[in-house]
Structure 1
Amino acid sequence: MSSRTRHGATDPARRPLLPLLTGQTGGRAAMTCRYRCGNACFHEAPNRSGNPYFGDVAAAALSRRTLLRAGAVLALTGGATGLASTRAGATPPPHTAGPAAVGLRFEPLTQQTGDHVTVPPGYLHDVLIRWGDPLFSDAPVFDPERQSAEAQERQFGYNNDFVGLLPLGRGDHVMVVNHEYTNEEIMFPGYDPDNPTRQQVETAWAAHGLTVVAVSGRRRGRRSGALDVVVDHDLNRRLPLSAEFELTGPVAGSHYVRTSADPEGRTVLGTVNNCAGGLTPWGTWLTGEENFHQYFANADAIRDPLERERLDRYGAESAETERKWERFDERWDLAQEPNEINRFGWIVEVDPYDPTSTPKKRTAMGRFKHEGATVRLAADGRAVAYMGDDERFEYLYKFVSAEAYRPDDDEHNATLLEHGTLYVARFTGDSPAGEIDGTGALPSDGAFDGTGEWIPLVSGTTSHVPGMTPEEVLCFTRQAGDAVGATAMDRPEDVEPSPRTGHVYAALTNNTDRTAEQADEVNPRAENRFGHVLELVEDSDDAAAATFSWRLFLVCGDPEDPGTYFAGYDKDQVSAISCPDNLAFDDHGNLWISTDGQPDSLGANDALYGVAVDGRRRGEVRQFLAVPTGAETCGPVITDERVLVAVQHPGEVDGANYENQASHWPDGGSSVPRPSIVVAYRADGKRTGHA
């Protein structure tokens, strides 16, 4: 009996979770830069490949033009997954009269600055679970003055990021959550960053990782949309840095991942800096290991030039690290364990329905600073995963499995991400280079758009990169992307295919290091503080296609800035938005965007927005929610019943520490700030975003 059926997750046909489609930047505080990514933006960008920007490539090199044309009207056609397009100035004036798109019919917020969560009039919100809340009844009550690893491993972890809900039936779900990183100065009383204690370090190890926890919407007397945590549920578990993870795929067992503690190179303790993620059609959870480089010390001890080049390409720390973990476990010291770093930077697959299962690190999907991975199915049923490498001037990737998804075959589907082809994207614009001047001004054809190709890097045991073995391509994927001339992007973060159309949307968060000379049509602004959202359509509406068309859907920032663009919609009628990060779709095909970095760029807290992607309201951005002081909006889940967000790092403000907190959310008074999951819903019990 499958684990899905055993735990009552689905009906006997095991309905897939996703439709089976065929066919220091921004407003970040210095503290954020230190603890999240090891001050990556204060160092030279690791990509020094000198790849040509596509503005240097003749537009005639790829002359195909399909679907995403200048002035195109994108509209659903007769229930098909494709979109119709028209040409040459056919975009009608935006229709601003009447109601917003279905699913977005709420009173949009103005910019918020308070130390609280704000939702539109007529909506309520609850804190579902906070850092330190128990998953099990034997967990101690959270006491910030008396933290320990033993307690934390039975409690909800820190800095929640991705959130996913999988069905358990009758209104219940299993919720999956990443815990990206820790803010030790805010977490621990009397914290000395130069001399952390063992107890503090071990507690931080336990606060990283993953949480699986059951939630219920069935409690009597509760309002529609509200949820409750089910303490002691059979599926509840924490996966901290002490948990075992299995390496699978071509790199597993290779000499690049063997260590003194694991001479076979197949078992890794823990997962770290997990950012976004995705849910698969076969009912598993994918989570991405992102800024893993910052946890490893003493790259300067590596003398071999090739090994040092590989470490530098991922930004490994030259000397000691911010957290000083290497003082307490030599696996974080490259001088002692030079291969341990190669065991991080992967996509991890977890079966939330089987609490005895071992999570898998899928090496066939490449190693880089994964924001996450989202999956849809190709026309022939193969799984296609889209991934972004979240750093300045890095690349977009796609993985296509070697075998096809089989309904009702959990054992087979559990192996789909072990073998396949990994691709990297190269973009070409269709405008003269002189029209892309770094200001964000639209070219003469009225759109930033063009064509592109997915360049194969490795297929199973065959490398497509001269001079690199398959294991090297997958373990040192950034160098492989360099070698084939991939397009350097403005921090590719979440990448989400629309469940309704199959169009793929990518959040390009920002890149203040890009110069006017480096501007190209897919990254058209110099010193890009505000970011943009890319829309990509695979040729033949097939996710496995090797070519695509693209256009920029949003060029973010203050609508009054002439260098912004909202899919052609009237900029007087949209909410200001900056630094797009996580993406999600609602039940009506609207795109929802959470932000990371708005306080500096727009003078407001980070927030959650909905935007229509088709019809006459296409490009109308509407703000739904704002988070507290110093916090980031992460992991949105949008359904007709409720909206969930992960409120990450509240109070992460320069100068804050345990004794001098900048936020007291969510408990108020003089309490410590606690990263939490928030659920918002209609007070009248009606559907989200409906009239």
Structure 2
Amino acid sequence: MSDRPRLLPLLGQAVHGGRDAMTCQYRCGNACDHPVPNESDNPYFGDVVRTEVSRRGVVRAGAVGALVLGFAGAGAASAAPALAAEAAPSEMPDVAPARFSGALTFKPIPPNKLDTFVVPNGYDHAVVIHWGDRVEPGAPEFDLHNQTAAAQSKQFGYNNDFVAVLPVDKRGRRALLVVNHEYTNENLMFPGFTTLDALSVEQLKVAIAAHGLSVVEIERVGNTGEWTPVSKGPRPYNRRITALSTRFEFTGPAAGSAWLKTAADPRGRVAIGTLNNCAGGVTPWGTVLSGEENFNQYFVGGDGAPEALKPRLARYGISTTTRYPSDSRKWDRADERFDLAKHPNEAHRFGWIVEVDPFDPEAKPRKHTALGRFKHEGANVIVAKSGHVVAYMGDDERFDYLYKFVSDKKYMPGNSAVARRHNLTLLESGSLYVAKLDYTSATEIDGTGKLPTDGAFNGTGRWIKLAQGNRSYVDGMTVADVLTFTRLAGDAVGATKMDRPEDVEPSLLTGKVYVALTNNTNRGVGTNPKADEANPRNANKHGQILEVVEDRGENAAETFTWSLPIVCGDPADASTYFAGYDKSKVSPISCPDNVAFDGAGNLWISTDGNALGSNDGLFATAVEGPERGHLKQFLTVPLGAETCGPFITTDNRSVFVAVQHPGEITGASVENPASTWPDGDYAKPGVVCTWRLDGRAIGS
């Protein structure tokens, strides 16, 4: 008998994939309801044929339905690995990652629609921090009915997404938790909410302040894998970065260009705030990268922008036909810079990769123009064999592109002050590339997801150079044009149109790169591009995972091979594929979003918008050896929520995820919540830590 959990019936009506209409409105401005921004006629693949509750109410998997998942027993927690002195600001301790056998031994949990956080037997979890908790010194206690922008600017922001945990000491006792705050949902934030138009200016400023990032010092609980915010003594690292007032410095070739100049910043060098921060990455030199994604929805007045600029704005999803598009947040009422009729260049100051140094609270965050401007999901860095650093990035839009950046300078090993100063400049200059994929079985792709006769979806590819340093490689575009309007540069060189490339992460053990292609229900619909070997299903609502292997194992190479190890969905569906593994033993998965690796190189996948009728969750699989493709579900998040992060700590004893938009279901409100996670009253986004009760490595 198969041990694969059965699917639950779909309990609610989804608009796109499994997302509720409320999430579509607030998270991305109903992007799927608007025309596809990419109207370029560059070749498609088919055109070119080539050879919780918190601890008070913890629910573990054994309590889900009648399915017993097994429990190996929880003995005394093992001693923490020897990881010893406190790090000073602007330094990062040199902590070697722990290794373990890598076998994923946990029993997979079943799909469910419970309003709680579900983990396997033998594991526990706790909420580390949630919306409104104090971050900066002097932050007031959260008051739901008397929210102010000043208070929110010192409190944990809303709708956390990317999560990073950076060790502060070599003993493994303290760390910095760095979290993105992607977007706000005013329906679920303000009691008595009716419409965005009815919000006060102060409430709009609260929402603006709830965007950005939080840096919070956390400490280990005893000898376990649990973590909690530091509650006593000085917390010099704690910091809120907001869209309201934080100043960001532009770096790279487009800094100071005409595209970035505004009335408030005639030099084009400093931006106020960061918007819609989605995923990110941790650099080898101890900083955090954050991707600005769906920034378009915050701007109005596109109809009043200069005519010559309108096509460029439209390529980024900004309406140029009406002052107030249906997805507008009306922020222009609180700050006129969001009115493009008055400040047409302001939108160009968002859509970048942001670098934050959490070890230096006084350091100004930077927006790196050399990495290009698009709807960044995030950026993840690896040091190539050549010594250059390589950042991989996805543009989260239907039919948009996969990118990478290779630094001009080489990485300087070590954690000396000299090395760190040097490494902090690595993302300021380099080569920006976009991916073009070729394939082996073009004529066999019929849109159903049927495997080609060679037994794999695979092919070759190359990285097309768009810019290097101050030089453009795109005809008719200056380097400032290429970097500010990178989507248009990708169109011009014929980049491959993908099914929403989101998180892109290289394995630090193998150098192979994994891309979460979330879904694309427009694939093959109407006049949209049809299925191809890398995007093999029309009306693709479940997504797939792309594996990229750079030639010669050199991440700075300009050619690669690729394959699809996982084509997501119900394993009982013939259109799914799990690297050839026995599908009767595989967990159902839909809409992969973020990916991460543990110390053994296992791939962990979080989901967003499960279209199979279950809550979103976190999954894990080996990507090498006989267990490759044996995908197992590790946890689920509460009703209406998305699983963000994830992050496995350096010692492999804890996994952090962000529970984003719990209870975000049409008709929900503060007074009538669809979820009461995590405190039993109204929904609050938060970060959760999960650990193994016997103290051993997560998953193994």
TM-score scaled to structure 2, two decimals? Answer: 0.87
Letter in 2 for 1:497: P
Report whether the alignment pairs 1:371 with 2:377: yes
Which residue number corresponds to residue 427 of structure 1?
Answer: 437
Report whether the alignment pairs 1:446 with 2:455: yes
**Distance change in 2, residues 1:137/1:247 (3 Å):** closer
Which residue number corresponds to residue 324 of structure 1?
Answer: 330
Letter in 2 for 1:36: R
Which residue number corresponds to residue 467 of structure 2?
Answer: 458
* Residues 281-300 of structure 1 mapped to structure 2, 5 A cutoff: 281-300=284-303
In 2: Cα distance, 1:31 partner to 1:223 partner: 41
Letter in 1 for 2:323: A
In 2: Cα distance, 1:402 partner to 1:455 partner: 17
**1:211 counterpart (206, 209, 214):** 214
Letter in 2 for 1:371: E
In 2: Cα distance, 1:101 partner to 1:393 partner: 39
Letter in 1 for 2:145: E
Which residue number corresponds to residue 71 of structure 2?
Answer: none
Which residue number corresponds to residue 32 of structure 1?
Answer: 23
CA offsets 1:122-160 (integer angstroms, 9 cap, x no match) = 111000001011124522111211111111111111100
* Residues 519-558 of structure 1 mapped to structure 2, 5 A cutoff: 519-558=531-570
In 1: Cα distance, 2:677 partner to 2:328 partner: 26
Which residue number corresponds to residue 179 of structure 1?
Answer: 181
Which residue number corresponds to residue 590 of structure 2?
Answer: 578
Report whether the alignment pairs 1:618 with 2:628: yes
Which residue number corresponds to residue 162 of structure 2?
Answer: 162
Which residue number corresponds to residue 237 of structure 1?
Answer: 239
In 2: Cα distance, 1:136 partner to 1:152 partner: 10
Report whether the alignment pairs 1:266 with 2:275: no
Deviation at 1:277, TM superposition (A): 0.2
Deviation at 1:657, TM superposition (A): 1.7
Contact 1:161 1:276 in 2 (8 A): yes
Which residue number corresponds to residue 507 of structure 1?
Answer: 516
Contact 2:641 2:661 in 1 (8 A): yes
In 2: Cα distance, 1:154 partner to 1:461 partner: 39
In 2: Cα distance, 1:569 partner to 1:584 partner: 21
Report whether the alignment pairs 1:344 with 2:350: yes
Which residue number corresponds to residue 126 of structure 1?
Answer: 126
Which stretch shows the higher mean deviation, 245-254 or 137-146? 137-146
Letter in 1 for 2:291: G
**2:257 counterpart (240, 254, 273):** 254
Contact 2:290 2:354 in 1 (8 A): yes
Deviation at 1:660, TM superposition (A): 1.6
Contact 2:279 2:379 in 1 (8 A): yes
In 2: Cα distance, 1:351 partner to 1:102 partner: 31
CA offsets 1:315-358 (integer angstroms, 9 cap, x no match) = 11342253210122110000010000000000001111000000
In 2: Cα distance, 1:518 partner to 1:588 partner: 37
**1:564 counterpart (576, 580, 598):** 576
The runs of 5 or more residues in structure 2 that have no matched partner are 1-14, 52-99
**Distance change in 2, residues 1:416/1:137 (3 Å):** closer
Deviation at 1:175, TM superposition (A): 1.1
| Paired residue secondary structure (1:535) | strand
TM-score scaled to structure 1, two decimals? Answer: 0.88
In 2: Cα distance, 1:651 partner to 1:449 partner: 39
Contact 1:559 1:576 in 2 (8 A): yes
Report whether the alignment pairs 1:53 with 2:44: yes
Which residue number corresponds to residue 683 of structure 1?
Answer: 693
Deviation at 1:579, TM superposition (A): 0.2
| Paired residue secondary structure (1:210) | strand
Contact 1:301 1:335 in 2 (8 A): yes
Runs of 4+ aligned structure 1 residues displaced above 6 Å come to none
**2:396 counterpart (387, 390, 394):** 390
Letter in 1 for 2:613: G
Contact 2:135 2:214 in 1 (8 A): no
Which residue number corresponds to residue 638 of structure 1?
Answer: 648
Letter in 2 for 1:651: G
In 2: Cα distance, 1:154 partner to 1:311 partner: 33
Contact 1:196 1:324 in 2 (8 A): no
Deviation at 1:377, TM superposition (A): 1.1
| Paired residue secondary structure (1:429) | coil
**2:196 counterpart (193, 202, 213):** 193
In 1: Cα distance, 2:686 partner to 2:112 partner: 19
Contact 1:25 1:510 in 2 (8 A): no
In 2: Cα distance, 1:282 partner to 1:303 partner: 42
Letter in 2 for 1:653: I
In 1: Cα distance, 2:549 partner to 2:661 partner: 35
In 1: Cα distance, 2:358 partner to 2:615 partner: 33
**Distance change in 2, residues 1:636/1:300 (3 Å):** same
Report whether the alignment pairs 1:228 with 2:228: yes
Report whether the alignment pairs 1:437 with 2:446: yes
Deviation at 1:608, TM superposition (A): 0.2
Deviation at 1:378, TM superposition (A): 1.4
| Paired residue secondary structure (2:126) | strand
Deviation at 1:380, TM superposition (A): 1.5
The runs of 5 or more residues in structure 1 that have no matched partner are 1-23, 61-99
Deviation at 1:251, TM superposition (A): 0.9
Deviation at 1:223, TM superposition (A): 5.4
In 2: Cα distance, 1:406 partner to 1:275 partner: 29
| Paired residue secondary structure (1:602) | coil
Deviation at 1:369, TM superposition (A): 0.1
Contact 2:102 2:601 in 1 (8 A): no
CA offsets 1:586-644 (integer angstroms, 9 cap, x no match) = 1111000000011xx21100000001101111100000010001000001112421111
Identity over aligned residues, as a percent?
A: 59
Number of residue pairs aligned between Structure 1 and Structure 2: 619
CA offsets 1:85-134 (integer angstroms, 9 cap, x no match) = xxxxxxxxxxxxxxx98352111101021110000011110000010111
Which residue number corresponds to residue 655 of structure 1?
Answer: 667
Deviation at 1:654, TM superposition (A): 1.0
**Distance change in 2, residues 1:686/1:528 (3 Å):** same
Report whether the alignment pairs 1:606 with 2:609: no
In 2: Cα distance, 1:352 partner to 1:552 partner: 36
* Residues 76-115 of structure 1 mapped to structure 2, 5 A cutoff: 102-115=102-115
**1:413 counterpart (423, 426, 430):** 423
In 2: Cα distance, 1:197 partner to 1:125 partner: 38
CA offsets 1:283-341 (integer angstroms, 9 cap, x no match) = 1110000000000002111242x310000000113422532101221100000100000
In 2: Cα distance, 1:263 partner to 1:344 partner: 16
Which residue number corresponds to residue 94 of structure 1?
Answer: none
Which stretch shows the higher mean deviation, 137-146 or 477-486? 137-146
Deviation at 1:518, TM superposition (A): 1.4
In 2: Cα distance, 1:501 partner to 1:589 partner: 8
Report whether the alignment pairs 1:380 with 2:386: yes
CA offsets 1:8-39 (integer angstroms, 9 cap, x no match) = xxxxxxxxxxxxxxxx5211111111111111
Deviation at 1:58, TM superposition (A): 2.6
| Paired residue secondary structure (2:208) | helix
Report whether the alignment pairs 1:493 with 2:502: yes
Contact 1:406 1:412 in 2 (8 A): yes
| Paired residue secondary structure (2:556) | coil
In 2: Cα distance, 1:329 partner to 1:137 partner: 27
Deviation at 1:582, TM superposition (A): 0.3
